[in-house]
Structure 1
Amino acid sequence: MTQLAFEAVIFDMDGVITKTAITHTAAWKKMFDEYLQKRAVEHGEAFQEFTQKDYLAYVDGKPRYKGVTSFLESRNIELPFGDVSDEPGMETICGLGNRKNIAFNEVIARDGVEVYESTAQLLEDLTKAGIKLGVASSSKNCAPVLEAVDLLKTFGARVDGVVSAELGLHGKPEPDIFTTACEILGSTPSKSIVVEDAVSGVQAGAKGKFGLTLGIARENNEEELAENGADFVVTDLEEVGGIEGLNKLFLENLSK
């Protein structure tokens, strides 16, 4: 095998490792549509449903409460932040976020979790090659989801929504969770790769000055990912060509 130019790869989870981005979208839609319908009745507002476009623009990749805030701002709705312990029925940012989390876990419990085969294969190959692996996710469900698919121990670093709250890290599009994972692995951004499917995620990779930010366009959003910081964009990791292909992209990006 060719001498690899990179020493660490940090993966987002939802939509990159696991097929849970679809689950998140459904959970967000259920929560927001119910809330917007309630407002329509109580305030005489016209009901305008939460769409896939809303998910990608305001919620995807962001910490839960930041996603709630971002979407509500797009609809000119102001709510108190509340507290992370708020009951899911409370009309606060945290209350709505907690309601969404219940919907997400209900779907996971019912349907289970699927892994992208190409990602699982690349993780196996990278592990055999001695590459350091990290997972950086805004999700507070990261550990149980990875545990459910027997991948939690694959990663030498996990910086998720729980760890971010403990350490006071800024969420995407800031690079904190990626750079922190890099530090835990004993690597540097310039020698590391970020793999992301969200606009906020590739923005974070670019801000963190990683050697390569690879975008995965699961939502026909190749242009948006490229415009917001992805150095290269694919629709699935099978297009990369394994470790050799990943190394080639890394070297090509260094030479730009």
Structure 2
Amino acid sequence: MTAPAPEGSLAPVLRDVDAVVFDTDGVITESATVHAAAWKEAFDAYLRAHPPADPAARRPFDVRDDYLRHVDGRSRLDGAAAFLAARGVDATPETVQEVAAAKERLFTDRLREQGVDAYPGTVRLVRELRAAGVPRAAASASRHAGELLSRAGVLDLFDALVDGGEAARLGLAGKPEPDLFLEAAARLGVPAGRAAVVEDALAGVEAGRRGGFALVVGVDRAAGEDTAARLLRHGADIVVRDLGELCAGGEPK
């Protein structure tokens, strides 16, 4: 068990957990918007080339609602399949792979052109946890997680990383199954019942709940009542707009 956090360094809700597992995109790094933009370009191109029979299903991909509902937190293949199914597309595995591959190319190009930053509030919290001796892991369904963290200059703040490549190698099920987070907690040497998960995706907070984690923190970057409510319904114990709220003086909802 880790040493207790120094009084005043962390919000009370975190003082009884022995490790914290962070999702990457949208939680640590400002890369969710890059993912969403790449998905939009890939999906909109597919819908234009192969318009669904239902005219209503031909509407463009919404980078907020569709992203949150169907692809956020999921692997590329699972996300592509979920969105296409939601639009009534009876997609073959080849079609799903084609759309996912297009998204991958677009995301990689955007990442190289734009780079990515870490959220200052997240960096503050992670540093407070490190000072308190609380182990920290980063987890992501993306194979780009290590590159994202390195580009943002925060990879060395984490004791472990479980990314999409590791998930594939180990045969871990995708979110909302908890496998990714359970593997990350195991690498920190802490059982789920003594650890926290921090997530911005509906599938992610559900995974944290299914995994039996002591605390599931939802991050609502959209700062909308509907988003916060959905995160709570899917398994978050609390919802914050910025992780700096979990440092001393913060007021998580």
Q: Which TM-score band (shorter chain)?
A: 0.7 to 0.9
Gaps of 5+ in 1: 83-91, 250-256
- Taking structure 1 as reference, are residues 245 and 97 closer, same or farther at Cα in structure 2, changes over 3 Å only? same
What's the secondary structure of 1:205's corresponding residue? helix
Gaps of 5+ in 2: 1-5
**Residue equivalent to 1:112:** 115
Give yes or no for the alignment of 1:236 onto 2:242: yes
Match for 1:223 among 215, 229, 243? 229
- Taking structure 1 as reference, are residues 199 and 44 closer, same or farther at Cα in structure 2, changes over 3 Å only? closer
2-side partners of 1:231 and 1:245: how far apart?
16
Give yes or no for the alignment of 1:62 onto 2:103: no
Quick check: 1:222–1:233 contact (8 Å CA) kept in 2? yes
2-side partners of 1:155 and 1:44: how far apart?
48
Give yes or no for the alignment of 1:182 onto 2:185: yes
2-side partners of 1:175 and 1:44: how far apart?
36
**Residue equivalent to 2:40:** 29
What's the secondary structure of 2:150's corresponding residue? helix
Give yes or no for the alignment of 1:132 onto 2:144: no
**Residue equivalent to 1:74:** 86
**Residue equivalent to 1:252:** none
**Residue equivalent to 1:88:** none
What displacement does 1:107 show?
1.1
- Taking structure 1 as reference, are residues 39 and 45 closer, same or farther at Cα in structure 2, changes over 3 Å only? farther
Listed as ranges, the matches of 1:1-256 within 5 Å are: 1-2=6-7, 4-40=15-51, 46=55, 47-51=58-62, 52-82=64-94, 92-219=95-222, 220=224, 221-242=227-248
2-side partners of 1:182 and 1:239: how far apart?
23
Quick check: 1:202–1:228 contact (8 Å CA) kept in 2? yes
Quick check: 1:39–1:45 contact (8 Å CA) kept in 2? no
What displacement does 1:218 show?
1.2
- Taking structure 1 as reference, are residues 206 and 45 closer, same or farther at Cα in structure 2, changes over 3 Å only? closer
TM-score (norm 2): 0.88
Q: What are the superposed Cα offsets for residues 90-128 of structure 1, whole Å, 9 maximum, x if unpaired?
A: xx2112111101111111111110110010111111112
Quick check: 2:218–2:240 contact (8 Å CA) kept in 1? yes
2-side partners of 1:6 and 1:196: how far apart?
16
Quick check: 1:62–1:172 contact (8 Å CA) kept in 2? yes
Alignment size in residue pairs? 235
What's the secondary structure of 2:83's corresponding residue? helix
1-side partners of 2:218 and 2:203: how far apart?
11
Question: Which residue type is aligned with residue 47 of structure 2?
Answer: L
What displacement does 1:73 show?
0.7
Question: Which residue type is aligned with residue 16 of structure 1?
Answer: V
- Taking structure 1 as reference, are residues 190 and 50 closer, same or farther at Cα in structure 2, changes over 3 Å only? same
